[in-house]
Amino acid sequence: GNIAYKEKQWPKAISFYSEAIKLSGKNATYYSNRAAAYLELG
């Protein structure tokens, strides 16, 4: 997700962060990063 985010590939980053949340739902960083990608997406 971080690489996709840095490359400004917002939908791809969101997908990766969502998958990470499914695997480890207690990691707040994944939610924060996904929210940031949604904000960039508009």
∠17-18-20 over CA atoms, to 5°?
A: 60
pLDDT band at residue 11 using 50, 70 and 90 as cut-offs: very high
* pLDDT at position 21: 98
What range defines the domain where residue 30 resides? 2-41
**8: DSSP letter:** T
Q: Biggest alpha carbon distance in the chain?
A: 26
Give the chain's mean pLDDT.
Answer: 98
Distances (CA, A) of 12 to 41, 42: 11, 14
pLDDT in tens, 21-34: 999 999 999 999 99
Give me the number of domains the chain comprises: 1
